[in-house]
Amino acid sequence: MKRSVLIPIALATLAAAAMLGGCATPPAPETQVRTASDMTDLDRRAKLHMELAAGYFGRGQTNVALDEVKKALAVRPELPEAYSLRALIYASMGQPQLAEESFRQALKLNPRDADSMHNFGWFLCQERRYADAEAQFDGAMAQPQYRDAARSMLAKGLCQAREGRYDVAEATLMRAYEMAPTNPATAFNLAEVLYRQGQYERARFYLRRVNSQPASANAQTLWLAARVERKLGNVSGARDLGNQLRARFPQSAEALRFESDQFDD
């Protein structure tokens, strides 16, 4: 599938631990806080397999990661985070049907798992099922204890932009920016949406905030800033940004576009 020019966010967040079962009834809510002493030997074995699976997945070793998830589920078939991670692995392997089945299993057994909702929403966005994706992001943000609402608001705005709903995406990304004004990905994607709507002065404002920090500036942010300056008639500014792009990221596709004067491509 062709990727959007907007910066995607990672799908690597594991769901919070909770009990579940394929046909089993979820246990009653905890009456006390669980600690390490409450873990059984089976819990520890499943936890170890999950840690290994997450590590392998993070290194791109999907087959080995999947094997470790299978081992965790063999020990604890009621483990929702195992289904959630399995969904991410299947998605990365190009198995959307299996990924969706795993996401649904995770959420069936832990309906309030905001991380799984978020990841499922991003998966649905990649599949161009935008309305379903938006429902998952909204569900995640509705969870009282969810601490990553800004992340889901950003993802929701990205999805709306991918769908071509730039006016709606602008409002959503503005909310995400207000929630996390120091997140460079939010500022860049908001600037991208503003650029697509011809709001070049506003796009310049957010891009300057991103590119003023060397750690957050990259080929995409410098190239978009150069294109914005070009649209505003600031030819020298566009050239200066292009020269920075060429000096810092000479092998990037954006540097090649600058060299070829493809500002409107």
Which CATH number is correct for 182-265, 1.10.1740.10, 1.25.40.10, 1.10.150.120, 3.30.1490.190?
1.25.40.10
Give the percent of the chain with pLDDT over 70. Answer: 85
Q: Structure tokens of 166?
A: 């730039």
Q: Structure tokens of 79?
A: 């483990």
Q: Output 264 or 222, whichever has higher pLDDT.
A: 222
Residue 1 has pLDDT above 50, yes or no: no
Distance CA 141, CA 181 (A): 18
Distance set, CA 61 to CA 65, 72, 202 (Å): 6, 17, 42
Residue 245 has pLDDT above 90, yes or no: yes
Q: What is the pLDDT of residue 142?
A: 97
Distance CA 112, CA 258 (A): 47
Q: What is the pLDDT of residue 8?
A: 36
- pLDDT class of 191 with cuts at 50, 70, 90: very high
Residue 9 has pLDDT above 60, yes or no: no
Q: What is the pLDDT of residue 131?
A: 97
Mean pLDDT of the chain, nearest integer = 87
pLDDT in tens, 27-82: 333 344 555 556 788 889 999 999 999 999 999 999 999 999 999 999 999 999 99
Residue 13 has pLDDT above 50, yes or no: no
Q: Structure tokens of 106?
A: 């995770």
Distance CA 130, CA 146 (A): 22
Q: What is the pLDDT of residue 58?
A: 95
Residue 16 has pLDDT above 50, yes or no: no
Contacts of 107 (CB under 8 A, 6+ apart): 113, 116, 117, 120
- pLDDT class of 263 with cuts at 50, 70, 90: confident
